[in-house]
């Protein structure tokens, strides 16, 4: 994505199966890869960059209508700069239009309750009225307010952004006169449909902000700022994060998402430069977190101008302990306007619900809402999206089929896990047969190893050992990787579940028995403990002849402990999937051990265990 600076700113700175070939050995490698990926995410997720990445280049296109405005870098006023041949417009006497006192205006529809203050004509509360959108899953939770009190110092929603800090401050602190229009308007309350207009004028400055409302989540906005009759490029802003962001890790999930000429893309909050101006044909531009978004949809994409806003706040590392060590959190904001200086756009702030976002379209040809929909705001990832999207649709479909209730998403996860396990059964039986074949030929493989044991590891003749071993596998019809087949599909499914739980707003605060939020960790630690026990038992009863003792110990003890510890801190819905899968695998292993194939594997394992212990099973020690 090309990026431009403010046009008025100055430049700113094992070897071949010989150890047994048993499926445990290869599965351990696969599980270890899974652990490394999970561990990397867990131990790196709280790391924050020391400073935000700056914007790359400065815009070369000067807006002729704005050239009479003084340029400024953020937080510093710069001297006025005029284009060649232009003259600063003389001051024009403007009648004073302002309110005498601070007042609030409330707008409500079926989905939103928005509270405006006439100081700056800004929003102080943007409350989602849906009963599923609470600030806390407990019964005492309040309706979620998308205006974040932790970041309000950085600015309030629907404030104005200009390239002059003093002007911006004036626009956002002035007392505007308010007029309400609508059939259900009464005093300072408007029941949509209708509109609210804010007007302020003084000392040559004339500002009009009009907001129109219907029954949807979308608000239509018109902004006109003139100084001495000359349009000022004033952008409408959502300056600082979203209301469900309370911890550093939640701010870290923020993204800047956009669509240019029908092609969508995104960038993480930590990589977004603050104060960067982007004059490009945006279909829409938005800031998002895991479950909510604030998006601007310009009426004239060809004239869209966007400024990215990035600030940092310090928050307790432990949300339950206000006195814990502070950690920096990236706060992402956005402002959009029109290069002409007259801004007309639609604005959405609400949940990233798939069905809802598909109904909201950017402006297309002829000024009609026929452009791209907002559903790209839900980001399942590039390659993982291929699995995550169908998984999400399957979970949502099952939730709808199970009927009304609060437990459906948990049961949907369990049902999908069972279905997936049943589908994978043929692979599991193929892996068992492959493992049994490996166990049967292990004495031959060990004999080959023994013939070359006297050679050093660097001796070229040791290559002959691998050649003989592979020839043995081929002659016996053994696939040395066959025992890993059941594990391979589980890893992408695991991370697909992770992405779905991180992006499906329906799973936010979804209940299932003692779990009050399937997108949050298990508060009672029941699932992590279950995962540790089931993994240990499955490893314990699975035949593993020839496996190295240290490797077996890691598989049977360390791996369950590590997985349980990691899933203490991840979504309980993910732990529910993993625990369900473990229970099924444990039951299957018990059944396998009772089958002829399983009994043969156990017998081979027992025989080799006795042999390794150095005891002759034919010798019976009796009393003399």
Q: SS in 3 state form for 383-428? A: CCHHHHHHHHHHHHHHHHHCCCCCCHHHHHHHHHHHHHHHHCHHHH
Q: How far apart are CA 396 and CA 415, in angstroms?
A: 12
pLDDT of residue 102: 96
Residues 6+ apart with CB under 8 A from 212: 193, 194, 195, 219, 220, 221, 222
- Give CA–CA dist 566/498, Å, rounded: 13
Average pLDDT over all residues of the chain: 81
Task: Indicate if the pLDDT at residue 5 is higher than 90.
Answer: no
396-416 average pLDDT score: 80
Distances from the Cα of 607 to the Cα of 20, 440, 615, angstroms: 13, 12, 10
- Is it the case that residue 619 has pLDDT exceeding 50? no
Helix and strand numbers (H, E) in the chain are 15, 23
Cα–Cα distance for residue pair 79/71, rounded to 1 Å:
7
Structure tokens at 172: 């956002």
The answer to whether residues 246 and 223 touch, using CB atoms and an 8 Å cutoff, is no
Would you place residue 492 in the very low, low, confident or very high pLDDT band (cuts 50, 70, 90)?
Answer: confident
Q: What is the bridge-based pairing of β-strands 189-191 and 292-298?
A: unpaired
Contacts of 614 (CB under 8 A, 6+ apart): none
Query: Across residues 419-427, what is the average pLDDT?
Result: 84
Average pLDDT over residues 255-264: 93
- Which helix (H) or strand (E) covers residue 434, if one does? helix 425-440
Q: In the chain, where are the structural domains located?
A: 90-377, 386-441+478-611
Three-class secondary structure of residue 326 per DSSP? strand
The predicted structure's pLDDT at residue 483: 66
Report field, pTM of the whole predicted structure over 0.75: yes
Q: Is the pLDDT of residue 66 over 50?
A: no
| Class of residue 268 by CB neighbours under 10 A (exposed 0-12, middle 13-18, buried 19+) | middle
- Mean of the pLDDT values across residues 234-256? 91
CATH, domain range 90-377: 2.70.98.90
Does residue 592 come out as left (phi exceeding 0), alpha (psi in the -120 to 50 range) or beta?
Answer: alpha
Determine the Cα–Cα distance for residues 353 and 133; give it in Å rounded to an integer.
Answer: 11
Dihedral sign for Cα 400, 401, 407, 413, please. negative
Mean pLDDT, range 217-221, rounded to an integer: 97
Q: How far apart are CA 260 and CA 280, in angstroms?
A: 8
Task: Note the pLDDT tens digit of each residue in 424-483.
Answer: 888 777 777 777 778 888 888 888 888 888 888 888 888 888 888 888 888 887 777 666
The pLDDT, as a whole number, for residue 280 is 93
Identify the residue whose tokens are 């979308």. 218
Over residues 361-381, the pLDDT tens digits come to 999 988 899 999 999 999 887
Tokens of 576: 């529910």
| The pLDDT value given to residue 65 | 34
Crossing angle of helices 487-503 and 385-401, in 10° steps, is: 70
CA dist., res. 78 & res. 182, Å (int): 43
Q: What's the pLDDT tens digit per position in 508-541?
A: 888 899 998 998 899 999 999 999 999 999 888 8
Q: How far is CA 384 from the centre of its chain?
A: 12
Could you give the residue ranges of the DSSP H alpha helices within 21-135?
23-44
Show the tokens assigned to 431. 């892996």
- Give the residue among 144, 376, 347 at the shortest CA–CA distance from 245: 144
Contact 18, 469 (CB under 8 A): yes
Look at phi and psi of residue 72 and say left if phi exceeds 0, alpha if psi is from -120 to 50, else beta.
beta
User: Rounded to the nearest 5 degrees, what angle is found at the Cα of 376, between the Cα atoms of 290 and 358?
Assistant: 105
């Amino acid at each position: 994505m090309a990026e431009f600076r403010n046009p008025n700113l100055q430049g700113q700175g094992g070897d071949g199966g010989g150890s047994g070939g048993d499926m445990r050995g290869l599965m351990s490698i696969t599980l270890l890869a899974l652990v490394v990926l999970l561990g990397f995410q867990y131990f790196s997720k709280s790391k924050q960059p020391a400073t935000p990445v700056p914007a790359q280049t400065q815009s070369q296109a000067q807006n002729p209508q704005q050239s009479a405005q003084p340029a400024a870098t953020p937080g510093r006023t710069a001297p006025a700069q005029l284009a060649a041949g232009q003259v600063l417009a003389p001051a024009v006497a403007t009648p004073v239009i302002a309110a005498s006192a601070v007042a609030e205006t409330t707008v409500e529809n079926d989905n939103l309750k928005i509270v405006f203050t006439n100081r700056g004509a800004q929003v102080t509360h943007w409350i989602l009225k849906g009963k599923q959108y609470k600030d806390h899953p407990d019964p005492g939770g309040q309706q979620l307010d998308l205006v974040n009190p932790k970041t309000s110092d950085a600015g309030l929603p629907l404030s104005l952004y200009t390239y002059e800090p003093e002007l911006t401050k004036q626009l956002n602190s002035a007392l505007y006169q308010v007029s309400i229009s609508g059939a259900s308007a009464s005093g300072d309350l408007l029941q949509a449909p209708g509109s609210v207009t804010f007007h302020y004028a003084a000392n040559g400055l004339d500002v009009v902000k009009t907001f129109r409302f219907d029954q949807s989540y979308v608000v239509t906005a018109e902004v006109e700022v003139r100084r001495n009759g000359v349009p000022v490029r004033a952008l409408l802003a959502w300056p600082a994060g979203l209301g469900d962001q309370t911890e550093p890790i939640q701010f870290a999930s923020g993204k800047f998402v956009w669509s240019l000429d029908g092609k969508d893309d995104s960038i993480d909050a930590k990589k977004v430069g603050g104060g960067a101006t982007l004059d490009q044909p945006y279909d829409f531009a938005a800031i998002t977190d895991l479950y909510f978004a604030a998006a601007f949809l310009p009426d004239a994409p060809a004239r869209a101008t966007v400024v990215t806003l990035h600030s940092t706040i310090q928050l307790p590392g432990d949300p339950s302990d206000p006195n814990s060590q502070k950690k920096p959190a990236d706060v992402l904001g956005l402002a959009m306007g029109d290069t002409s200086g007259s801004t007309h756009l639609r604005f959405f702030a609400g949940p990233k619900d798939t069905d809802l976002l598909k109904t909201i379209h950017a402006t297309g040809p002829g000024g009609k809402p026929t452009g791209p929909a907002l559903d790209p705001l839900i980001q399942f990832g590039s390659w993982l999206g291929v699995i995550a999207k169908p998984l999400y649709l399957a979970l949502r479909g099952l939730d709808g089929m199970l009927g009304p209730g609060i437990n459906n998403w948990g049961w949907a996860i369990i049902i999908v896990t069972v279905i997936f396990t049943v589908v994978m059964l043929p692979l599991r039986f193929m892996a068992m047969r492959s493992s049994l074949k490996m166990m049967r030929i292990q004495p031959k493989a060990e004999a080959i190893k023994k013939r070359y044991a006297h050679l050093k590891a660097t001796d070229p003749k040791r290559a002959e050992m691998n050649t003989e071993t592979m020839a043995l596998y081929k002659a016996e019809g053994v696939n040395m990787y066959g025992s890993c087949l059941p594990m391979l599909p589980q890893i992408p499914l695991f991370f697909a579940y992770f992405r779905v739980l991180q992006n499906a707003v329906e799973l936010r605060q979804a209940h299932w028995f003692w779990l009050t939020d399937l997108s949050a960790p298990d508060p009672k630690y029941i699932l992590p403990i279950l995962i540790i026990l089931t993994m240990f038992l499955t490893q314990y009863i699975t035949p593993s002849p020839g496996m190295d003792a240290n490797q077996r110990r890691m598989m049977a003890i360390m791996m369950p402990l590590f997985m349980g510890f990691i899933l203490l801190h991840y979504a309980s819905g993910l732990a529910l999937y993993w625990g369900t899968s473990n229970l099924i695998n444990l039951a299957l292993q018990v059944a396998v051990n009772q089958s002829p194939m399983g009994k043969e594997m156990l017998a081979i394992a027992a025989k080799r265990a006795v042999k390794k212990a150095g005891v002759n099973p034919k010798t019976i020690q009796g009393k003399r």
